[in-house]
């Protein structure tokens, strides 16, 4: 079965412990719903650097990554359906980029 990467952009960190518990519960429920198709729940990402032929930039690029998840899905449409339930989308604060992890 094909593997897909969910690359998160935006979102934010909880401001209180109570908000953190609520956010973690939402992520846990979403991942539980993915079930056996969840390969790696992933992690949040810290500030990134962009490496190019001309050097290293500290700005994280045009659309910095804020985290990732790896899943199995039948195809791109099925992966996008899974991603639609992602808690980062709540309130329009973040996005999920979906890409197939191509076998080599």
Mean pLDDT of the region 17-35: 95
Q: Which of 14, 22, 72 is nearest to 44 (CA)?
A: 14
Q: Which of 69, 67, 76, 68 is nearest to 2 (CA)?
A: 76
Query: Around Cβ 31, how many Cβ atoms within 10 Å?
Result: 17
> Full-prediction pTM beyond 0.85?
yes
For the stretch 40-92, pLDDT in tens is 999 999 888 888 899 999 877 788 899 999 999 999 999 999 999 999 999 88
- Residue 70 pairs in a beta bridge with 5, 40
């Amino acid at each position: 079965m094909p593997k897909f990467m969910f690359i998160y952009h935006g979102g934010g960190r909880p401001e209180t412990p109570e908000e953190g518990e609520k956010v973690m519960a939402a992520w846990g429920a979403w991942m539980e719903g993915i079930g056996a198709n969840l390969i790696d729940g992933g992690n949040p990402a810290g500030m990134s650097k962009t490496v190019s032929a001309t050097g290293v930039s500290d700005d994280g690029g045009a659309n910095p990554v804020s985290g990732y998840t790896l899943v199995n899905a039948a195809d791109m449409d099925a992966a996008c359906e899974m991603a639609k339930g992602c808690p980062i989308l709540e309130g329009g604060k973040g996005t999920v980029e979906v890409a197939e992890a191509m076998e080599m």
